[in-house]
Amino acid sequence: MTTRRLLMCRPTHFAVTYRINPWMDPTAPYDNALAVSQWESLHRALTDAGHTIELIDPLPGLPDMVFAANGATVVDGKVLAVQFRDPERADEAPAYRAWFESKGFEVYDSKHTNEGEGDILLAGDVLLAGTGFRTVHAAHLQTQEVFGRPVVSLQLVDPAYYHLDTALCVLDERTIAYLPSAFSPGSQAVLRRMFPDAVIATEADAAVLGLNAVSDGRTVVLPAQATTLAAALRERGYQTVGVDLSELRKAGGGPKCCVLEVRG
Ligand code: ARG
């Protein structure tokens, strides 16, 4: 029931060598071996939660390929390929596309900048779609056409929360957690209207990428540092599992960024 099919990419070639979001500092030290062992702890937590994890081969020269969420959007067995804003990540798109083709999926070309599940999240029957930094509004329209599901566009306004999945987490079919200040006033009003019972995250939780969490509706795997959010989730009846991804956070990524859900 809560078991998911997930795609992940080992951070074999992880590095911070360019800056495409405010978290990244190419002059600061990072530890590739620690990144790998932290990623393995995430892999273990998701396996322990009962999920089936498949792996895509990491490619040299693509240090952000570990962030599988940006590899595609997959709903109802259909795959919408991605198109990255930044040339540094462009070559990840055909690699993810090829993985899905090799598994027999029907893949749709992306006509616009679209960073996959980083910006497009399924919440019940609708897709929530972020724009403002990466995925463009035209991609939301294409997403609606491809999947035949309503797409609700949300305007991101804080460069630190440049992908929707850094500012909003879908907890289950009816509930989300989010950081209001990451959204425009109109988008905040939309979220209040759609999710009156949402969990409102604190700035401190968002600042450790606490909202970049993987929820199966029962267990939420989130950054260990997001302690206030974890307590709020437990109060709502979710089980929480904290993982430390401090090295990957230096690239602006957390647990959810490392996971792409393959929905049959
Ligand atoms: N360094 C990567 C980038 O800026 C991080 C991607 C994080 N992925 C995500 N789904 N938020 O593109």
pTM, to two decimals: 0.98
Q: Which is it for the CA torsion 262, 194, 159, 33, positive or negative?
A: negative
User: Mean pLDDT, to the nearest integer, of 188-212?
Assistant: 98
Q: Which of the listed residues 25, 250, 257, 258 should we mutate to test ligand 1's pocket, taking the one with most ligand atoms within 8 A of CB?
A: 257
Rounded mean pLDDT of 43-63?
A: 98
Phi, psi of 211 (to 5 degrees): -80, -10
Residue 173 has pLDDT above 90, yes or no: yes
Q: 16: Cβ below 6 Å to ligand 1?
A: no
Q: Which token pair is 54?
A: 């498949």
- Tell me the three state secondary structure of residue 183: strand
Taking residues 240-264, report their average pLDDT: 98
> Which ligand 1 atom minimizes the distance to the CA of 69?
10
In the reported structure, the alpha carbon of residue 142 is separated from the centroid of ligand 1 by a whole-number distance in angstroms of 21
How would residue 155 be classed by pLDDT, with cut points 50, 70 and 90?
very high
Q: In whole angstroms, what separates CA 252 from the centre of its chain? A: 11
For a substitution probing ligand 1, which of 14, 18, 21 has the most ligand atoms within 8 Å of its CB? 21
By DSSP bridging, strand 73-75 and strand 52-55 are: unpaired
User: What pLDDT does 135 receive?
Assistant: 98
pLDDT tens column, 77-97: 999 999 999 999 999 999 999
Query: Is a pLDDT exceeding 50 seen at residue 1?
Result: no
Pocket lining: 69 vs ligand 1, CB cutoff 6 Å = yes
Counting other chains too, the contacts that 30-34 makes at CB distance below 8 Å and 24 or more residues apart are: 30/247, 30/250, 31/247, 32/247, 34/246, 34/247
Percentage of the chain with pLDDT > 70? Answer: 100
CA 225 – CA 51 distance, rounded (Å): 23
- CA of 170 relative to ligand 1 center, distance in Å: 18
Q: Residue 230: exposed, middle, or buried by beta-carbon count in 10 A (0-12, 13-18, 19+)?
A: buried
Is the shortest distance between the CB of 21 and ligand 1 below 6 Å?
A: yes
CB 84 within 8 A of CB 62: no
Strand partners, 54: 7
Could you tell me the distance, in angstroms and rounded to a whole number, from the CA of residue 18 to the centre of ligand 1? 12
Ligand 1 pocket, 82 CB below 6 A? no
Going by DSSP bridges, is the β-strand pair 176-178/199-200 parallel, antiparallel, or unpaired? parallel
The bridge status of strand 5-8 relative to strand 260-261 is antiparallel
Q: Could you give the 3-state DSSP secondary structure of residue 168?
A: strand
* CA separation for the pair 42, 223 (Å, rounded): 10
Enzyme catalytic residues: 163, 257
Q: Where are the alpha helices (DSSP H) in 73-124?
A: 92-102
Q: What pLDDT, on a 0 to 100 scale, did the predictor assign at position 2? A: 74
| Confidence bin at 147 (pLDDT 50/70/90) | very high
Cα(11)–Cα(37) distance, rounded to whole angstroms? 9
Work out which ligand 1 atom sits closest to the CA atom of 162: 11
Mutate which of 163, 169, 179 for ligand 1? The one with the most ligand atoms within 8 Å of its CB, which is 163
Q: Is the pLDDT of residue 22 over 90?
A: yes
The Cβ of residue 78 has, within 10 Å, a number of other Cβ atoms equal to: 17
When pLDDT is averaged across residues 231-236 and rounded to a whole number, the result is 98
Strand order across the beta sheet in which 168-170 lies? 168-170, 176-178, 199-200
